[in-house]
Amino acid sequence: MKKNRSIVVAAVPALCAALAAGSAVSSSALAASLECIVPSKPGGAMDVTCKLARKGLQQLDAGGHGVQPAPSGMSIRYLPGGIGAVAWNSLVAQPRAKPNTLVAFSGGSLLYLAEGKLGKAKVGDVRWVAALGTDYGMVAVPASSPYKNLGDLLAALKRHPEKVLFGFSGTAGSQDWFKMALLARSAGIDPKVLRFVALEGGGEAFTAMQANYVQAVSGDASEAVLYAAEANTRVLAVLAPQRLPGVLSKVPTAREQGVDVVWPVIRGVWMGPQVPEAEYRRWVGAFDRMLATPQFAQLRAEAGLYPFALTGDALKAYVSKAVDEYGKRAAEFGLVR
């Protein structure tokens, strides 16, 4: 298969003694309301993000850094709908500050911002707290599929695109759609012929594939890690610069298979705009400490994520640049509102 030019998309507890020494607020009182919102259904990569944040804060406490989590570490609430718009608008529109509430985000969230799919939302509407790591795109099929590699899948799409139904998180123009659109375009296939089912999160997409409702899934490596060990899933390619370590170490990259497409996916958390500056800075400080520990590095690897750590102002600057770059890429496909 002929190689295209490289396609790389920009990627890619109480509150730590009330998140910082000297706080007069009771840590046990804060812990009781600590929450992370997953803007999709259970089982996908957004779910992984909140659970990783919870484990990271728990290990920070175990290391004697002053975090006193509730027994469960933090509560996790699922708020799917509108490809993340429901969670975004719920927190942004809150008239009262929510200093103990985090919301998971990904590169897909930034793509939706760029495309205008979150309404009139702007980067500055929320407070960007921390990036916990980076993920990469992947394509998977059932183990019983006739497609043994990426070339098989693209060849089938070229011959009979109507016979391949994909499971995507989101709609046309979503991150998962974009990954497959770039792969298809590299093989001379018009992305407009792609047939897909719009689903809420990667967990639902894999469930649909296992039920034989769709023939393939375009999603993320961290999601594939959850399912690859099962005998009913075959990952055809990862959209990373080189092979990934761990569970997916035997899966070739798209580049190895002659398709030069790389799609990194930042994963992190933000909080609402009404949170007082002091509380926001305490959160940023807590995540700075968490991200610096070797224990968190191990937790991140177990979650199927790879090193990428930014917090506070540096993260906001990164997000602003990424949204601009996603907007340019989306414009190439006529997807910007």
Final residue of a domain: which of 236, 262, 288?
262
Six-digit token pair at 229?
A: 């060990």
Six-digit token pair at 129?
A: 């707290």
pLDDT in tens, 194-251: 999 988 777 888 889 989 999 999 999 988 888 876 778 999 999 999 999 988 999 9
Same domain, 97 and 159: no
Q: Phi, psi (5° rounding) for residue 215?
A: -95, -15
The residue among 289, 300, 170, 195 whose CA lies nearest residue 244 is 300
Cα end-to-end span (Å), the chain: 34
Same domain, 316 and 214: no
Structural domain boundaries, residue 140: 136-262
Whether 280 maps to a domain, the answer reads: yes
Average pLDDT over the chain reads 84
CATH code where residue 87 lies: 3.40.190.150
The residue among 95, 104, 111, 163 whose CA lies nearest residue 130 is 104
The amino acid that residue 113 corresponds to is L
Whether 3 maps to a domain, the answer reads: no
Same domain, 231 and 197: yes
Distance from C-alpha of 289 to C-alpha of 309, rounded to nearest angstrom = 11
At 200 the three-state DSSP class reads coil
Whether 227 maps to a domain, the answer reads: yes
Same domain, 211 and 248: yes
Same domain, 226 and 310: no
Whether 1 maps to a domain, the answer reads: no
Q: Chain-centre distance of CA 117, in angstroms?
A: 17
Final residue of a domain: which of 262, 292, 310?
262
Same domain, 182 and 274: no
Q: Phi, psi (5° rounding) for residue 89?
A: -70, -30
> DSSP secondary-structure letter at 10?
T
CATH code where residue 229 lies: 3.40.190.10
**Burial of 33 by CB count in 10 Å (0-12 exposed, 13-18 middle, 19+ buried)?**
middle
Neighbouring residues of 61: CB distance < 8 A, sequence distance ≥ 6: 13, 67, 68, 69
- Between the alpha carbon of residue 193 and those of residues 172, 184, 185, 258, the distances in Å are 11, 9, 11, 22
Final residue of a domain: which of 201, 236, 262?
262
Same domain, 22 and 91: yes
Distance from C-alpha of 110 to C-alpha of 174, rounded to nearest angstrom = 10
* Residue 216 · residue 141 · CB < 8 Å: yes
Whether 337 maps to a domain, the answer reads: no
pLDDT of amino acid 62: 65
The amino acid that residue 213 corresponds to is Y
pLDDT in tens, 101-155: 999 999 989 998 998 888 788 999 999 999 999 999 999 999 999 999 999 999 9
The residue among 149, 168, 147, 145 whose CA lies nearest residue 236 is 149
Q: Which residue has the tokens 């999160």?
A: 201
Same domain, 238 and 159: yes
Same domain, 107 and 34: yes
Q: Phi, psi (5° rounding) for residue 171?
A: -115, -170
Six-digit token pair at 84?
A: 């993340």
The residue among 222, 201, 223, 205 whose CA lies nearest residue 214 is 205
Same domain, 124 and 171: no
- Higher pLDDT, residue 116 or 29: 116
Whether 112 maps to a domain, the answer reads: yes
Distance from C-alpha of 169 to C-alpha of 197, rounded to nearest angstrom = 8
pLDDT in tens, 64-74: 555 444 434 68
Q: How many CA atoms lie within 13 A of 11 on its CB side?
A: 25
Whether 175 maps to a domain, the answer reads: yes
pLDDT of amino acid 317: 97
